[in-house]
Structure 1
Amino acid sequence: MSPASEEHYSSYCEINRAMARALSRLRKRDAIWVHDYHLLSLGKELRELTIEQPIGFFLHTPWPKPDVIERVPHHLDLMQSMLAYDLVGFQTRWDLDNFLSCLQVHLGMESRSDVVISERGLTRCQVFPIGIDPKQFAEYAVESLAEYRQQISSIQDKLNCTKLAIGVDRLDYTKGIDNRIKAVDQLLTNKPHSISLLQIGTSSRADIPAYSKYQREIASLVEDVNRKQRTDDGSEPICYWKDQFSQVELAGYYRTADVGVVTPLRDGMNLVAKEYVAAQDSNDPGVLVLSKFAGAAEELNENMALHVDPTSPDDIAAAISAAIEMPREERIERCEAMINTIEAYTIHDWSKEFVRELYPSRVAVPADHFRYLGFGWLNEAQVPMYATVEELNVAVKHVLRVRAGQSGGEPD
């Protein structure tokens, strides 16, 4: 490992320690909810400061398979530190299964019913697919068409009656924007004037060389395609905007677009997919083209969205072509199914469920129920809310054996 990597990891740990010291002032809080990979080890740092209340963690990004995580410096320490949390949440079942596989392969730790027993206690792992507020976004779409009518009309005027596809992303190399643009180029070569693309790409981490390089590549690719596919009247098929837009304004462009193109190489969820669906006119909706490697694809299955391989411009081009030719009846059927899905589990449901699951992460056990308590958990054993007494006994005995083995003794 390079000295730079060691230095970066030391800085990462120090930031987590600093956050823990700041949060330790909130000891009277009922629980603590930590978010994302920036703070993987915050729970461990809080435990070392004797924070006793339940601590939950939610990972917004994907969790990789065992052969990928081992390429991450200090991956063993990071995984071990995550077991300081009482509840660890993931976007998809794929992510959760990968995490448990990594624990088994790299740390030799088994799980039962998505619960992991460590020296600290029990860590529950659960899927919480993050959502949006679909009704609010539908209202935004109506509001946007009124407030931004002129701007939206100007885009439509430039299209010369072609269909419109929209992509909204951070300018990040994980978002697959380059393959999306290549797909539009291929489609226009085979079917001239069939589609236009409004690509909104907001700058992301431009001070990092890899990101700034990617942003230059995207700009150059757009110029090449526009030069190649420009019509006789000078119209260009790709409108590339790098401005920031409010959610209200975005909702209007979503509703105007015939196709929503969401093609990340890998994504934890990708809420643009859900926002696009929520903004649609239910009587004449657009079609969602969705990467099969986006977390949203687990909920918005192939009967709803058109799934694609985001690394294949050919696959993306074929899906966009199918989308613009799809009959209205099928578009309505697919859109209704997606709306029902995202309304069934909104951002409000997501937050409420996580907090609800976090509170019972620790269940007080009567002092006379077990002969052995005090595993660093004071006078309570950490068990899943759904555990039976028999399962609880098995868990406690297992921890006792682990602890006895470490101390060289045997429990009675």
Structure 2
Amino acid sequence: MSRLIVISNRVSRPSKSGNQGGLAVALSQALRESRGIWVGWSGEVTDNFTGHIGFAEDEGVKTATIDLEEQDVDEYYNGYANKTLWPLFHFRIDLAEYARDFEGGYNRVNKRFADTAAPLIEPEDVIWVHDYHMIPLGQMLRDKGLNNRIGFFLHIPWPPTRLLVSLPHHSKLVSTLFAYDVVGFHTEEWLESFRHYVEREMGGTVDGDFVTVGDRTIQAVACPIGINAKEFAEAAESEQAQDMLTLVRASLQDRSMIVGVDRLDYSKGLEERFNGYARFLKDHPEHHRKLLLTQIAPPSRGEVESYQQIRATLDSLAGRINGEYSDVDWTPIRYVNQGYPRDKLAGIYRAAKIGLVTPLRDGMNLVAKEYVAAQDPEDPGVLILSRFAGAAMQLKDALLINPYSPEEMSDAILRALAMPLDERKRRWRAMMDSVEGQDISWWRQCFTGRLMAVDRDTARVEPETTAG
């Protein structure tokens, strides 16, 4: 049996507390089944990079990690990954920073990952590389002579060609994707953007799932990621979730709650969400004191200036809205800068009559699926979802909105509050069927099934249907 070698920026070791994210749970399960190894950064900084590999095994999952130098973190992680690629791939070209040091650090660290992983890989192993931190890694592994099946999955959007060409050396970066056998995206939209770039900028051809540039052909596919729906629904029934549900409901004093749960990031549309909610309060004073928004937003990437700015903006905006509309016994926004374990979060989701998920651009957005999975089937809440989230392609029975329009968001909140039980149940059931049918295990099998089926002797040869 082939082992699975997972390579990603960070390694998530299994936790007895059960607080791993859905992606980590799915990958851990696959690694156990295949006796595989998870390779990545430890999260620790060292004065001098030595190449030392820290091996560990937790809950049957083997991990191999390296420490990076402070310069590596500044240039590769905070720099090229999160100041250049992240904003560009989320259509925020105005925030993207281009620096030679960033690009140099990105390539240097990817080579360090290649140097670390290569000696651990056996000829029959299947390699699965994850996300924008690692785009050139496959080519670096090929340069070391590896002929293994290698797949890559992008967990963020792929930008339109007109934006991607603003990236210095963009064709060089994209060409490294052709070292992989299978490249995956969350949605058909991101896949189509990739195909368009290949055709327009690289002179490539597309034949179904096969994309060819020169003499190199790969499979490019859309596999929308899911959550462990059964486990999350069970978490909503747990003692911890029920305790949190009781606590939140007691604090609401018969008011309805809207909930938002997002990492503190400009792509999540938090400023637009607050403005949309403020518009609702302005347009519908009859709902004052009857409703509140609980926004959970754990800080992230605090070293990056744009993230410092979004936090300052939200602090100011929440204060202004609360100052304008609060009363002595009612505050319209609860703004919380901390995260919660899965079980408690499931209880918060269930307490909310409305889930408000408004990213300006998102590869998928699993919060939308978690909110659906946590609902009481007999009295489900209503999901209001940005049409620019990848999840909108699957959760069509949510109230889909343009997050840039405060009026549209306000109208959706009003509609959700007034929605009758039978309609809420019908919409929830349709969404839950999707969440359960295309869960995290389905996603993993969707991608790895393609990768496992690759014939290594012919996979990198142009198919007859596109020859000539």
Structure 2 equivalent of residue 278 of structure 1: 373
Q: Is 1:83 aligned to residue 160 of structure 2?
A: no
Q: Which runs of 5+ in 1 are unaligned?
A: 364-379, 385-390, 399-412
2:342 & 2:314 partners in 1: Cα distance? 24
SS of the equivalent of 2:148 reads coil
Structure 2 equivalent of residue 11 of structure 1: 105
1:253 & 1:74 partners in 2: Cα distance? 45
Please tell me whether the aligned partners of residues 184 and 195 of structure 1 are also in contact (alpha carbons under 8 angstroms).
Answer: no
Structure 2 equivalent of residue 329 of structure 1: 422
Please tell me whether the aligned partners of residues 84 and 120 of structure 1 are also in contact (alpha carbons under 8 angstroms).
Answer: no
1:295 & 1:10 partners in 2: Cα distance? 31
Structure 1 equivalent of residue 279 of structure 2: 186
1:149 & 1:394 partners in 2: Cα distance? 57
SS of the equivalent of 1:267 reads coil
Counterpart of 1:44 (choices 139, 147, 160) is 139
| Mapping for residues 72-221 of structure 1, pairs under 5 Å | 72-119=167-214, 121-143=216-238, 146-147=239-240, 151-192=244-285, 193=288, 194-221=290-317
CA shift for structure 1 position 122: 1.7
Please tell me whether the aligned partners of residues 204 and 211 of structure 1 are also in contact (alpha carbons under 8 angstroms).
Answer: yes
- When the two chains are superposed, the root-mean-square deviation of aligned CA atoms in Å is 2.0
CA shift for structure 1 position 394: 4.2
CA shift for structure 1 position 148: 5.5
Please tell me whether the aligned partners of residues 244 and 348 of structure 2 are also in contact (alpha carbons under 8 angstroms).
Answer: no
Once structures 1 and 2 are overlaid, which stretch shifts more, 217-226 or 189-198?
A: 189-198
CA shift for structure 1 position 393: 3.4
Please tell me whether the aligned partners of residues 98 and 168 of structure 2 are also in contact (alpha carbons under 8 angstroms).
Answer: no
SS of the equivalent of 2:224 reads coil
CA shift for structure 1 position 90: 0.4
Residue deviations 1:88-118 (CA, integer Å, cap 9, x gap) = 0000000000000011111111111121223
Letter in 2 for 1:202: P
Letter in 1 for 2:392: A
SS of the equivalent of 2:375 reads coil
Task: Give the number of aligned pairs.
Answer: 370
1:44 & 1:12 partners in 2: Cα distance? 14
Structure 2 equivalent of residue 290 of structure 1: 385
Letter in 1 for 2:198: L
Structure 2 equivalent of residue 66 of structure 1: 161
Please tell me whether the aligned partners of residues 124 and 361 of structure 1 are also in contact (alpha carbons under 8 angstroms).
Answer: no
2:383 & 2:417 partners in 1: Cα distance? 11
Please tell me whether the aligned partners of residues 241 and 348 of structure 2 are also in contact (alpha carbons under 8 angstroms).
Answer: no
Counterpart of 1:318 (choices 396, 408, 411) is 411
2:179 & 2:439 partners in 1: Cα distance? 28
SS of the equivalent of 1:310 reads coil
1:32 & 1:70 partners in 2: Cα distance? 29
Please tell me whether the aligned partners of residues 158 and 235 of structure 1 are also in contact (alpha carbons under 8 angstroms).
Answer: no
CA shift for structure 1 position 392: 4.0
Please tell me whether the aligned partners of residues 241 and 346 of structure 2 are also in contact (alpha carbons under 8 angstroms).
Answer: no
SS of the equivalent of 2:219 reads strand
Please tell me whether the aligned partners of residues 299 and 337 of structure 2 are also in contact (alpha carbons under 8 angstroms).
Answer: yes
Q: Is 1:20 aligned to residue 97 of structure 2?
A: no
Letter in 2 for 1:186: R
1:252 & 1:101 partners in 2: Cα distance? 43
Q: Is 1:346 aligned to residue 439 of structure 2?
A: yes
1:278 & 1:3 partners in 2: Cα distance? 38
Structure 1 equivalent of residue 354 of structure 2: 259
Residue deviations 1:49-98 (CA, integer Å, cap 9, x gap) = 11101100000000011101112222111111111110000000000000
Please tell me whether the aligned partners of residues 98 and 167 of structure 2 are also in contact (alpha carbons under 8 angstroms).
Answer: no
Please tell me whether the aligned partners of residues 259 and 352 of structure 2 are also in contact (alpha carbons under 8 angstroms).
Answer: yes
Letter in 2 for 1:136: E
Query: Taking structure 2 as the reference length, what is the TM-score of the superposition?
Result: 0.76
Q: Which runs of 5+ in 2 are unaligned?
A: 1-83, 85-95
Q: Is 1:381 aligned to residue 452 of structure 2?
A: no
Structure 2 equivalent of residue 366 of structure 1: none
1:394 & 1:153 partners in 2: Cα distance? 61
CA shift for structure 1 position 128: 0.8
Please tell me whether the aligned partners of residues 373 and 432 of structure 2 are also in contact (alpha carbons under 8 angstroms).
Answer: yes
1:220 & 1:136 partners in 2: Cα distance? 37
CA shift for structure 1 position 180: 0.8
Letter in 2 for 1:312: S
CA shift for structure 1 position 325: 0.7
2:252 & 2:308 partners in 1: Cα distance? 30
Q: Is 1:393 aligned to residue 464 of structure 2?
A: yes
CA shift for structure 1 position 284: 0.4
CA shift for structure 1 position 21: 1.2
Letter in 2 for 1:130: I
Structure 2 equivalent of residue 223 of structure 1: 319
1:161 & 1:126 partners in 2: Cα distance? 47
CA shift for structure 1 position 359: 1.3
1:361–1:186 CA distance, 2 compared to 1 (3 A): same
SS of the equivalent of 2:220 reads strand
SS of the equivalent of 1:72 reads coil
Counterpart of 1:360 (choices 437, 453, 456) is 453
2:236 & 2:363 partners in 1: Cα distance? 25
SS of the equivalent of 2:297 reads strand
1:90–1:103 CA distance, 2 compared to 1 (3 A): same
2:190 & 2:243 partners in 1: Cα distance? 43
2:325 & 2:248 partners in 1: Cα distance? 17
Letter in 2 for 1:393: E
2:426 & 2:186 partners in 1: Cα distance? 26
1:394–1:160 CA distance, 2 compared to 1 (3 A): closer
SS of the equivalent of 1:142 reads coil
Identity %: 37
CA shift for structure 1 position 244: 1.9
